[in-house]
Structure 1
Amino acid sequence: MIRHIIFDFDGTIVNSRPLISKIYNRAAKKHGYRPIRDDDKGPFAGRSISQRRKALGIPLYRMPALGLNILWGYHRGLEELEVKPGIGDLIEQLHAQGYPLSIISSNLERNIRAFLQHQGIDQFEQIRSSRSLFGKHRAINTFLKRNDLKPEEVLYIGDELRDIKAGHRTGVNMVSAAWGYDSLESMRRMSPDFMASRPGEVLTAIQGFNAGVL
């Protein structure tokens, strides 16, 4: 039975790509990286973080500084961000059904809390920042231990290939959100436990996990 639900943040709860692209493009212009257009999915769809970095021409040693630059710029642009369609209703329904809700994200906790407060979404009990872009499975495992949860008691909702990998490595029930960064086709190839094309389908997934048919 599902006892706790964890959400990813960027791409799953919030439509942050336009803001992140704008912040990145300022750095790209300064350092000579490939810029990203608003409709440009090439560097993102179906690619790992390492593949995206190479496609954009970013040296590996520049990644930590670029990441910090994006996170700090993110905080200054919070008012530009919007909740993904249908996510607010999903969060309200899950909260009404008594599910504890948390967030694990590579974004900063202060960014996440500021956004949730601005949007009036205050149903989350815990918000954890995973400092590594490549190690979200470690954050999930730590979360399980601290909350005395078994993997099969947790549902994790994420929108990227690395979220599926984290689900596989930790054993938690994984729902891939097709409304986020990575395409439905690329995520399907990695065999998540459930593919949701819209937020309301997460409720169907929970029923399936609780009934033992997923």
Structure 2
Amino acid sequence: MVRRYDLVMFDLDGTLADSLGFFIRTHNLLSAKYHFQPIQPHEVELLRQRSPREIMDHLGLPRWKLPFVARDFVRLMRLHGQQVCMFAGVERVLRDLHAHGLQLAVVSSNSVENCLRILGEDLCRLMSCIDGGASLFGKRTRILRVMKKLSIQPGQAIYVGDQLTDADAARAASVAFGAVCWGYGAPQALAQTSPEVTFETVDALRLLACNTQPDAHVH
């Protein structure tokens, strides 16, 4: 059953923003600087099945380098972010959810500046909170911070994302997890996290404004 939540928190990259291509190009650019393996075209679907930690191990990227790589990624997106836009239909869905009285928020490992630019001024006005700059493995704290700021209890909130770390963060914060099928993580891998709901299309997100839906796997 898809239930109605008072607060819907979204990841940005791979969930609202179509940034996988930019991520791969930037990863390969930074691989030379930080001495880890680039992503080959034939590896993309394989890596979508794996967790970020497994991907880092596969590519020879030690965890201590991650903050430096992430910093450069955010900087390059700030400089070349016009290459990244939202998935088709996201703007319409966000407007619909807001019109139905849901509080909306973004919790991202990307910077607040990049979140604001990608969303645009009009959609930013729909957001009750935009919290960016979380580490890849540090979204739990940001989710809790957003809920505290908005006076929302965990049972009233859902975090919608596209990676296994998003599911981990939602569980650690005791909120529901909604998995999307169009992002960085493969649907088969996300299914192993037992999300409360799986969204197969962007348009299916509008069902968050409904009270119930017969199937938790929505199209």
Give the structure 1 partner of residue 123 of structure 2: 121
In the alignment, the residues of structure 1 paired with residue 57 and residue 25 of structure 2 have an alpha-carbon distance, to the nearest angstrom, of 19
Cα distance, 1:29 vs. partner? 2.5
Pick from 31, 51, 55 the counterpart of residue 28 of structure 1: 31
Structure 1: runs of 5+ lacking an equivalent: none
The alignment covers a number of residue pairs equal to: 212
Give the structure 1 partner of residue 169 of structure 2: 166
Structure 2: runs of 5+ lacking an equivalent: none
TM-score between both structures, scaled by the size of structure 2: 0.87
After alignment, is 178-187 or 30-39 more displaced?
A: 30-39
Q: Deviations over 1:6-36 (max 9, x none)?
A: 1110000101111122222112123432112
Q: Deviations over 1:70-122 (max 9, x none)?
A: 1100111111112112212211111221222110001100111122227x533
Runs of 4+ residues over 4 Å off in structure 1: 211-214
Q: Deviations over 1:118-142 (max 9, x none)?
A: 7x53322210025221121121112
In the alignment, the residues of structure 1 paired with residue 100 and residue 211 of structure 2 have an alpha-carbon distance, to the nearest angstrom, of 16
Question: Which structure is richer in relative contact order (CA contacts within 8 A, separation 6 or more)?
Answer: 2
Distance 1:75 1:130, change over 3 A: closer
Give the structure 2 partner of residue 149 of structure 1: 152
C-alpha RMSD of matched pairs (Å): 2.3
Give the structure 2 partner of residue 137 of structure 1: 140
Equivalent positions of 1:68-79 (< 5 A) are 68-79=71-82
Give the structure 2 partner of residue 100 of structure 1: 103
Identical aligned pairs, as a percentage? 23
TM-score between both structures, scaled by the size of structure 1: 0.89
